[in-house]
Protein backbone atom coordinates (compact mmCIF):
# COMPACT_ATOMS: atom_id res chain seq x y z
CA UNK A 1 0.00 0.00 0.00
CA UNK A 2 2.84 2.39 0.84
CA UNK A 3 4.44 1.72 -2.57
CA UNK A 4 1.22 2.69 -4.31
CA UNK A 5 1.01 5.95 -2.36
CA UNK A 6 4.59 6.89 -3.01
CA UNK A 7 4.31 6.14 -6.71
CA UNK A 8 1.78 8.89 -7.34
CA UNK A 9 -0.20 6.63 -9.62
CA UNK A 10 -3.74 7.50 -10.51
CA UNK A 11 -6.39 5.24 -9.01
CA UNK A 12 -9.33 6.59 -10.97
CA UNK A 13 -9.62 9.28 -13.61
CA UNK A 14 -13.04 10.69 -14.18
CA UNK A 15 -13.46 12.83 -17.22
CA UNK A 16 -16.32 14.63 -18.77
CA UNK A 17 -18.52 17.54 -17.81
CA UNK A 18 -20.32 15.45 -15.27
CA UNK A 19 -17.18 14.72 -13.18
CA UNK A 20 -15.30 18.01 -13.77
CA UNK A 21 -12.23 16.05 -14.84
CA UNK A 22 -11.48 14.75 -11.35
CA UNK A 23 -8.54 12.50 -10.61
CA UNK A 24 -8.41 10.28 -7.52
CA UNK A 25 -5.01 9.21 -6.25
CA UNK A 26 -4.21 6.39 -3.85
CA UNK A 27 -3.12 8.82 -1.12
CA UNK A 28 -6.61 10.35 -1.14
CA UNK A 29 -8.08 6.92 -0.48
CA UNK A 30 -5.60 6.24 2.30
CA UNK A 31 -6.53 9.51 4.03
CA UNK A 32 -10.21 8.61 3.82
CA UNK A 33 -9.51 5.14 5.25
CA UNK A 34 -7.46 6.70 8.07
CA UNK A 35 -10.33 9.10 8.89
CA UNK A 36 -12.78 6.18 9.04
CA UNK A 37 -10.44 4.24 11.37
CA UNK A 38 -10.12 7.28 13.65
CA UNK A 39 -13.91 7.57 13.86
CA UNK A 40 -14.21 3.84 14.60
CA UNK A 41 -11.57 4.06 17.34
CA UNK A 42 -13.42 6.94 18.95
CA UNK A 43 -16.69 5.03 18.81
CA UNK A 44 -15.03 1.93 20.33
CA UNK A 45 -13.70 4.01 23.24
CA UNK A 46 -17.16 5.51 23.78
CA UNK A 47 -18.74 2.05 23.82
CA UNK A 48 -16.17 0.79 26.32
CA UNK A 49 -16.80 3.79 28.60
CA UNK A 50 -20.57 3.23 28.40
CA UNK A 51 -20.13 -0.46 29.17
CA UNK A 52 -18.03 0.35 32.24
CA UNK A 53 -20.60 2.88 33.42
CA UNK A 54 -23.40 0.36 32.96
CA UNK A 55 -21.52 -2.30 34.93
CA UNK A 56 -20.90 0.18 37.75
CA UNK A 57 -24.59 1.12 37.87
CA UNK A 58 -25.63 -2.54 37.97
CA UNK A 59 -23.10 -3.23 40.73
CA UNK A 60 -24.35 -0.26 42.76
CA UNK A 61 -27.97 -1.38 42.38
CA UNK A 62 -27.05 -4.93 43.42
CA UNK A 63 -25.26 -3.57 46.50
CA UNK A 64 -28.38 -1.61 47.46
CA UNK A 65 -30.54 -4.72 47.10
CA UNK A 66 -28.13 -6.79 49.18
CA UNK A 67 -28.10 -4.10 51.86
CA UNK A 68 -31.90 -4.11 52.01
CA UNK A 69 -32.10 -7.89 52.22
CA UNK A 70 -29.45 -7.97 54.95
CA UNK A 71 -31.32 -5.41 57.03
CA UNK A 72 -34.62 -7.27 56.63
CA UNK A 73 -33.04 -10.57 57.67
CA UNK A 74 -31.27 -8.90 60.61
CA UNK A 75 -34.57 -7.48 61.82
CA UNK A 76 -36.52 -10.73 61.45
CA UNK A 77 -33.88 -13.15 62.74
CA UNK A 78 -34.27 -12.38 66.48
CA UNK A 79 -38.05 -12.74 66.29
CA UNK A 80 -37.67 -16.06 64.50
CA UNK A 81 -35.16 -17.23 67.09
CA UNK A 82 -37.46 -16.33 69.98
CA UNK A 83 -40.38 -18.03 68.24
CA UNK A 84 -38.36 -21.19 67.66
CA UNK A 85 -37.12 -21.25 71.25
CA UNK A 86 -40.55 -20.91 72.81
CA UNK A 87 -42.19 -23.05 70.14
CA UNK A 88 -40.33 -26.16 71.24
CA UNK A 89 -42.59 -28.68 72.87
CA UNK A 90 -41.22 -29.38 76.30
CA UNK A 91 -43.10 -29.44 79.57
CA UNK A 92 -41.43 -26.76 81.63
CA UNK A 93 -41.12 -23.67 79.48
CA UNK A 94 -39.84 -20.95 81.82
CA UNK A 95 -42.08 -18.07 80.77
CA UNK A 96 -45.01 -19.92 79.26
CA UNK A 97 -45.87 -21.67 82.54
CA UNK A 98 -46.62 -18.36 84.28
CA UNK A 99 -49.87 -16.41 83.89
CA UNK A 100 -48.47 -13.49 81.86
CA UNK A 101 -45.72 -15.45 80.18
CA UNK A 102 -47.45 -15.83 76.84
CA UNK A 103 -48.11 -12.08 76.66
CA UNK A 104 -44.47 -11.37 77.60
CA UNK A 105 -43.16 -13.67 74.85
CA UNK A 106 -45.54 -12.09 72.31
CA UNK A 107 -44.39 -8.57 73.27
CA UNK A 108 -40.78 -9.73 73.10
CA UNK A 109 -41.36 -11.04 69.57
CA UNK A 110 -43.03 -7.79 68.49
CA UNK A 111 -40.72 -5.26 70.17
CA UNK A 112 -37.38 -6.84 69.30
CA UNK A 113 -37.72 -6.04 65.56
CA UNK A 114 -39.06 -2.57 66.42
CA UNK A 115 -36.04 -1.93 68.62
CA UNK A 116 -33.72 -3.05 65.81
CA UNK A 117 -35.50 -0.74 63.35
CA UNK A 118 -34.97 2.19 65.73
CA UNK A 119 -31.30 1.31 66.17
CA UNK A 120 -30.79 0.99 62.39
CA UNK A 121 -32.46 4.36 61.80
CA UNK A 122 -30.24 6.05 64.39
CA UNK A 123 -27.18 4.61 62.65
CA UNK A 124 -28.69 5.76 59.32
CA UNK A 125 -28.65 2.27 57.85
CA UNK A 126 -32.31 2.62 56.86
Domain chopping of the chain, boundaries = 2-122
Bridge partners for 24 per DSSP: 12
Q: What is the reported pTM?
A: 0.58
Indicate whether 87 pLDDT > 80: no
Average pLDDT over residues 62-91: 88
The DSSP letter of residue 90 is -
User: Phi, psi at residue 115, to the nearest 5°?
Assistant: -60, -40
Mean of the per-residue pLDDT values of the chain: 81
Task: Report pLDDT for 51.
Answer: 97
Average pLDDT over residues 82-99: 75
| Cα–Cα distance, 14 to 4 (Å, whole number) | 19
Amino acid sequence: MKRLIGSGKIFLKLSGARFNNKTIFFDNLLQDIQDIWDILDGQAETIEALETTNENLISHRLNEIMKTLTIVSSILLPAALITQFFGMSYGSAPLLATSGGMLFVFLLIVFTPLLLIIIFKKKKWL
